[in-house]
């Protein structure tokens, strides 16, 4: 009986010890699993903290103007709109900042903010103020011939959108300042893209217009400043109307006029006038409007009216005969003039068989040219 009792007691003790050992092992296992989960949670938290720390290292520096933001970001130009209306709210007077290759303009109206960012080339700062991966929908649409990628909770309702225009990159974030979700429709996205494209358009180099040569003015006998007389000589006659002076004096209608320098060193208008009966006469008009009839003096090759040494080279020439031999008609008047090439010429008025009067110049060699 004792032996049986002892054996029974030993069995009970062994069972009890075995039960305690199992409970301890189970508890140990559960504790181990709990620690493993804790470790995973801690690891995940650390990664999240590390990511947040990476984002927080990008610090935007506030400045006063868009030009200062562009300079700080190292880009040539940061164009922004003065104001824009979105969802019946007007956004204007932005605050400016820059960070690591990105310029920023921050507009606010009430509890909603509109953040515009631009980069041109390499940048490490983000173009948007929200992580694009947090949105359920992503879609791309063309605005202003640019492919714009939009992000939002629902397609067609954009909270963030980005695009590139050549080397220029843009990002826009539209968000509630209190954490509420807001978005822009397609027309409003289009308005923002268009405004920024226009504000950042690069100026095209101006093409130089080809220089156009001024048309050569034809020599004319009815022009007070015909370029046939040296400047400073005939300038005193400018503004005079020889035709009106002759008409007012009742001497007929002027058929030709030119400026000549006579041997007294003064400049005159020399005019050919036709009266009502068809007769023609030659007159000279001085700077004061005084008229002298020189009809009887003009056909002589050595009329003494031109300075010696100047037109002396023409002495001995018969302009009437030269014109007649050329079949150009009958000379009605002639005078010696110095043209703008510095040479002296016979200037003659000749009437052809049809009664038309033309003006010719004869050089010292007898060559004829029509004025």
Per-range mean pLDDT, top range of 39-43, 162-166, 242-246, 305-309? 162-166
Q: What region, left, alpha or beta, does residue 75 occupy, with left being phi > 0 and alpha being psi -120 to 50 degrees?
A: beta
Q: How far apart are CA 102 and CA 78, in angstroms?
A: 10
Return the closest-CA partner of residue 115 out of 198, 186, 196. 196
pLDDT at 53: 34
Backbone angles phi, psi at 158, to 5 degrees: -90, 130
pLDDT at 205: 63
Share of the chain above pLDDT 90, in %: 36
Q: What is the mean pLDDT of residues 37-45?
A: 36
Alpha helices in 57-147 (DSSP H): 66-73
pLDDT at 2: 35
Higher-pLDDT residue of 58 and 197 is 197
Q: How far apart are CA 170 and CA 164, in angstroms?
A: 6
pLDDT at 207: 61
What is the separation of C-alpha 35 from the centre of its chain, rounded to a whole number of angstroms?
A: 70
As a 3-state breakdown, the chain gives helix, strand, coil percent values, each rounded to 5, of 30, 30, 40
- Coil, strand or helix at 140: strand
Return the closest-CA partner of residue 263 out of 310, 301, 298, 316. 310
pLDDT at 256: 84
pLDDT at 84: 95
What is the separation of C-alpha 39 from the centre of its chain, rounded to a whole number of angstroms?
A: 65
With 50 as the cut, is the pLDDT of residue 185 above it?
A: yes
Q: What is the mean pLDDT of residues 287-302?
A: 65
Sheet of strand 61-63, all strands in order from the earlier edge strand to the far edge: 61-63, 95-99, 102-109, 112-120, 168-176, 160-165, 146-152, 137-143
> Which range among 93-102, 196-205, 288-297, 341-350 shows the weakest confidence by mean pLDDT?
288-297
With 80 as the cut, is the pLDDT of residue 209 above it?
A: no
Share of the chain above pLDDT 70, in %: 70
What are 91-129's pLDDT values in tens digits?
Answer: 999 999 999 999 999 999 999 999 999 999 899 999 999
Which residue in the block uniquely carries the two structure tokens 């959108």? 161
Mean pLDDT of the chain: 76
CA dihedral 219, 222, 223, 229 (to 10 degrees): 60
What is the pLDDT confidence band of residue 37, given thresholds at 50, 70 and 90?
very low
Q: What is the mean pLDDT of residues 142-151?
A: 96
Return the closest-CA partner of residue 255 out of 235, 281, 230, 293. 281
Contacts of 207 (CB under 8 A, 6+ apart): none
Give pairs for 198-206: CB < 8 Å, separation 24+.
198/79, 199/79, 199/80, 199/81, 200/77, 200/78, 200/79, 200/118, 200/165, 200/168, 201/79, 202/77
With 50 as the cut, is the pLDDT of residue 44 above it?
A: no
Higher-pLDDT residue of 323 and 72 is 72
> Which range among 184-188, 209-213, 348-352 shows the weakest confidence by mean pLDDT?
209-213
pLDDT at 29: 35
DSSP 165-217: ETTEEEEEEEEETTS----B-HHHHHHHHHHHHHHTPPPPPPPPPPPPPPPPP
What are 67-87's pLDDT values in tens digits?
Answer: 999 999 999 999 999 999 999
pTM, full prediction? 0.44
The domain spans of the chain are 61-199, 234-370
Q: How far apart are CA 189 and CA 237, in angstroms?
A: 71
Q: How far apart are CA 60 and CA 264, in angstroms?
A: 87
């Amino acid at each position: 009986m004792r032996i049986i009792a002892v054996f029974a007691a030993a069995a009970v003790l062994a069972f009890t010890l075995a039960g305690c050992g199992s409970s301890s092992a189970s508890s140990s296992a559960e504790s181990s699993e709990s620690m493993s989960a804790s470790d995973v949670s801690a690891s995940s938290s650390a990664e999240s903290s590390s990511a947040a720390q990476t984002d927080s290292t990008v610090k935007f520096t506030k400045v006063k103007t868009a030009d200062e933001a562009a300079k700080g970001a190292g880009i040539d130009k940061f164009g922004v709109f003065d104001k824009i209306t979105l969802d019946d709210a007007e956004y204007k007077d932005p605050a400016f900042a820059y960070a690591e290759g990105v310029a920023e303009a921050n507009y606010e109206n009430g509890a909603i903010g509109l953040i515009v960012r631009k980069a041109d080339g390499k940048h490490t700062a983000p173009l948007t103020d929200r992580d694009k991966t947090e949105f359920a929908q992503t879609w791309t649409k063309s605005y202003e011939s640019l492919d714009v990628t939009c992000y939002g909770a629902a397609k067609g309702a954009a909270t963030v959108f980005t695009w590139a225009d050549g080397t220029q990159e843009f990002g826009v974030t539209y968000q509630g300042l209190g954490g509420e979700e807001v978005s822009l429709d397609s027309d409003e996205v289009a308005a923002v893209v268009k405004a920024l494209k226009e504000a950042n358009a690069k100026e095209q180099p101006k093409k130089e217009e080809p220089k156009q040569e001024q048309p050569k003015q034809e020599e004319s006998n009815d022009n007070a400043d015909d370029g046939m007389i040296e400047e400073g000589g005939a300038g005193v006659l400018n503004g005079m109307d020889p035709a009106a002076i002759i008409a007012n004096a009742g001497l007929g209608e002027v058929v030709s006029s030119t400026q000549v320098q006579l041997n007294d060193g003064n400049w005159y208008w020399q005019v050919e006038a036709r009266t009502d009966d068809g007769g023609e006469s030659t007159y000279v008009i001085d700077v004061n409007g005084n008229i002298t009839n020189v009809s009887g003096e003009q056909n002589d090759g050595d009329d003494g009216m031109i300075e010696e040494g100047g037109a002396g080279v023409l002495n001995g020439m018969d302009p009437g005969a030269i014109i007649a031999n050329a079949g150009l008609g009958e000379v009605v008047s002639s005078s010696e003039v110095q043209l703008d090439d510095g040479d002296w010429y016979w200037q003659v008025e000749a009437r052809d068989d049809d009664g038309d009067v033309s003006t010719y110049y004869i050089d010292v060699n007898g060559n004829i040219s029509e004025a």
